[in-house]
Structure 1
Amino acid sequence: MKSQAELLAWMRRHGGVAHTTALRSAGFTTHGIRRSIESGLAHWVRRSWLALADSDPLLQRVAALGARVTCLTAARRAGLWTPDHDGIHVSVPPSAGRFDTVGVRLHWGVGPMPVPAAELCEPTVNILAHVAGCVTMADALCVWESAIRKGLVAPGVIEGVNWRGAARRLAAEASTLSDSGLETRFVVLMRRLGVEVRQQVWIDGRPVDALIGERLVVQLDGFAHHQGADRRRDLRADARLVLLGYTVLRFDFVQILFHPEEVIATIATALAQQRHCVPSR
């Protein structure tokens, strides 16, 4: 019979919250589970759901709801780019009963990928499906591309999934070229103008964030943009591009996220001035 120490170690490796089905499949007995509760090291959060006293409060609450972590909450836990949001996002089956929904965003229904009943977190494919139906297309696309860049889902997998609703369009739009969620947002803004953007094009030995036409370069500065020597390197690169005949426009994350109309107007003006074209000789 496995010891109490082994049970506690197994639970810690699995997030500190587990269903009794999973525990018994791992070789732990009802007696061993009861002993961990009597010792005060674990407690029931819901029928058949056991949690260690020091386990993640989020997982405890999700287990108590009979739900799974999904959408933006799961995306953030996985280290993906996510827009600002409140509350925790959980998925529940269509047949679920009433819930204490204070601070909780409920996602009814199931994703494309079946999930074992004892799992507390949705797989990446289901997370992306819930994101597609929860936030704007621009924000959802940023999350999707973040998952691709981090290797949590392969483009080939995305192409093969039988998506529904908004996720179908996202599957067609998502690419591996955006170096950050900020770049994705910029591309979406340009689509509103009907402008084609090429991303990560190599010019003068370095990739630029975006190239419009043949001569309009756009560089995007994220929240944690380079400072000091790195910043000077970027400025030197901008200067070299200008001397090579390119127009270089640089926007920061505040402009892209909070003043998109300003960005659109600037690009539109540059296009009206033919800054994207090779000057005629």
Structure 2
Amino acid sequence: MARNVDRLVQWVAAQGGLVHREAAGNAGFPLGVRRAAARCGAIRRVRRDWLATDAAPADLLVAAENGGSLTCVSAARRRGWWMPEGLDDSIHIRLEPHAASPISLVTAHWTQRVSPAPGHGLVESIEDILAHIAVCLSPEDAQIVWNSALQVEKITPTAIRRVRWPHRQARECAERASTQSDSGLETILVVRLGGWGVPMRQQVVLLGRPVDLLIGDRLVIQVDGFAHHSSSAQRSKDVAFDAELTLNGYTVFRFTYAQIMHDWDTVERTIARAIAAGAHLAG
């Protein structure tokens, strides 16, 4: 029995440290082995349905303890979607509409699912994560995360608009969803400037290279994020490209992460002044 217990512990650890009891049974570990592992403290039983080792991820463990599934910004972080600054770091879980109150300090979403249950997993479907984000975050932050999700998960705007979203906020996010932004910073620009009534296009190819945002015909906005332009060689290429655009009659502004995130008023005013001067117009 001890050998089988050791095998179970190793298997659970290999699965990430937290598995459903049915998954363990399907993998060849009968009830007797699971009970023996729990009695000796090698495995922790969570709400009778889950088996955990000491390496179990804290967020998934909280979801299991509360009989829910990870969702909203917590699931978005786990999936690697781009997240705006300043979001709360509480754990968001989805619960059945009539489920009991959580036993941990979490942000709970009592909802019906948009997509079928995740089976033996503890992370909600992409559609349910997006639905919760749409109502939990501000419209701007929600759109940033949605656009990042489409990029990371390789989902087209057409497909996301075909989902039967349960509420207005999600439907509006779906209508605005785009895969044109290479980063959340670009989405911020488009969302914040989109109400100006000036034509704006992303990833337009000029002189053989795409630009982040083209306003009108001649005003180019480029964004430097954390992960980009890390080498002096790349930075030199970007500066040279900006110069070439200028020589060809374009007005070019390049903004950094810090400017967009922490000095937006100046960024917005600079672009507005350029439009007022007609820098976006051809000729």
TM-score, shorter chain, exceeding 0.5: yes
Find the aligned partners of 1:28 and 1:76 in 2 and give their Cα distance: 32
What is the DSSP-based 3-state SS (H/G/I as helix, E as strand, rest coil) of the residue aligned with 1:11? helix
Aligned to 1:185: 188
Find the aligned partners of 1:57 and 1:196 in 2 and give their Cα distance: 46
Give yes or no for contact 1:91–1:110 (8 Å, CA) kept in 2.
Answer: no
Aligned to 2:273: 269
Aligned to 1:164: 166
Find the aligned partners of 2:161 and 2:44 in 1 and give their Cα distance: 43
Comparing 243-252 and 31-40, the one that deviates more: 31-40
Find the aligned partners of 2:178 and 2:261 in 1 and give their Cα distance: 20
1:65-104 map, 5 Å:
65-84=66-85, 85=87, 86-102=89-105, 104=106
Find the aligned partners of 1:23 and 1:152 in 2 and give their Cα distance: 32
1:145-156 map, 5 Å:
145-151=147-153, 153-156=155-158
Find the aligned partners of 1:187 and 1:201 in 2 and give their Cα distance: 14
Q: Over residues 181-217 of structure 1, what are the superposed CA-to-partner deviations in whole Å (9 max), with x where a residue is unaligned?
A: 1101100111132233100111111111010111100
What is the DSSP-based 3-state SS (H/G/I as helix, E as strand, rest coil) of the residue aligned with 2:100? coil
TM-score (normalised: structure 1): 0.91
Give yes or no for contact 2:118–2:124 (8 Å, CA) kept in 1.
Answer: no
Question: Percent of aligned pairs with the same residue?
Answer: 43
Long gaps (5+) in structure 1: none
Give yes or no for contact 2:44–2:53 (8 Å, CA) kept in 1.
Answer: yes
Find the aligned partners of 1:111 and 1:195 in 2 and give their Cα distance: 39
Shift of 1:154: 4.2
Shift of 1:73: 1.0
Alignment-mate amino acid for residue 88 of structure 1: I
Long gaps (5+) in structure 2: none
Alignment-mate amino acid for residue 78 of structure 2: R
Give yes or no for contact 2:84–2:184 (8 Å, CA) kept in 1.
Answer: no
Find the aligned partners of 1:97 and 1:200 in 2 and give their Cα distance: 48
Give yes or no for contact 2:115–2:127 (8 Å, CA) kept in 1.
Answer: yes
Q: Over residues 62-109 of structure 1, what are the superposed CA-to-partner deviations in whole Å (9 max), with x where a residue is unaligned?
A: 21111111111111111110123221111111112122453x221221
Give yes or no for contact 1:17–1:60 (8 Å, CA) kept in 2.
Answer: yes
Shift of 1:156: 4.2
What is the DSSP-based 3-state SS (H/G/I as helix, E as strand, rest coil) of the residue aligned with 2:278? coil
Aligned to 1:49: 50
Alignment-mate amino acid for residue 248 of structure 1: V
Alignment-mate amino acid for residue 25 of structure 2: R
Find the aligned partners of 1:42 and 1:228 in 2 and give their Cα distance: 51
Alignment-mate amino acid for residue 132 of structure 1: A
- How many residues align structurally? 278
Comparing 269-278 and 148-157, the one that deviates more: 148-157
Find the aligned partners of 1:275 and 1:175 in 2 and give their Cα distance: 26
1:258 to 256, 262, 268: 262
Find the aligned partners of 2:118 and 2:187 in 1 and give their Cα distance: 33
Alignment-mate amino acid for residue 193 of structure 1: W
What is the DSSP-based 3-state SS (H/G/I as helix, E as strand, rest coil) of the residue aligned with 1:150? helix
What is the DSSP-based 3-state SS (H/G/I as helix, E as strand, rest coil) of the residue aligned with 1:175? coil
The answer to whether 1:205 aligns with 2:208 is: yes
TM-score (normalised: structure 2): 0.90
Find the aligned partners of 1:116 and 1:216 in 2 and give their Cα distance: 46
> Runs of 4+ in structure 1 displaced over 6 angstroms?
none
Give yes or no for contact 2:161–2:171 (8 Å, CA) kept in 1.
Answer: no
What is the DSSP-based 3-state SS (H/G/I as helix, E as strand, rest coil) of the residue aligned with 1:201? strand
Find the aligned partners of 2:16 and 2:164 in 1 and give their Cα distance: 30
Comparing 91-100 and 147-156, the one that deviates more: 147-156
Assess, with a 3 A threshold, how the Cα gap between structure 1 residues 78 and 65 changes in structure 2: closer, same or farther: same
Q: Over residues 143-176 of structure 1, what are the superposed CA-to-partner deviations in whole Å (9 max), with x where a residue is unaligned?
A: 1121221235444431221012211011111111
